[in-house]
Amino acid sequence: MRTIAPTQTSPVMNLADAAAYLGRTKNALKIMRHRDRGPRSFLADGRIYYYTADVDAWLAKQAEADKRFNPALDPVNAPVQIRRSRPTRSRPAA
């Protein structure tokens, strides 16, 4: 079976094209789909398809959630929190 790479005129990718586009295996995409963790997909005639725009949006969302891409999420950039010491318990006299 010959697969066609997504182009500007083809807004839909099959499973193999989406896997190649994301640098993942087809099985990895199936697992992500099963766990509702991957890009939005749909079934047509028993085959899995992805809209290119949905894959790009999912990729952008993953990048925003990465602290290396989004400096606001990096704990090094977080303001310093001053820890309060816990009160000590008094011990009963023996």
The whole-model pTM stands at 0.66
Percent of the chain with pLDDT over 90: 54
**DSSP 8-state symbol, 39:** S
Residue 7's DSSP bridge partners are 10
CA atoms of 86 and 74, how far apart (whole Å): 28
Residues 81/41, Cβ–Cβ less than 8 Å: no
Distance of alpha carbon 94 from its chain centroid, rounded? Answer: 59
Predicted confidence at residue 29, as pLDDT, reads 96
Q: What is the pLDDT of residues 7-53, one digit of tens each?
A: 556 799 999 999 999 999 999 999 999 999 999 999 999 999 999 99
Q: State mean pLDDT over 65-75.
A: 77
- What are the DSSP E strand ranges found in 1-94? 12-14, 42-44, 47-51
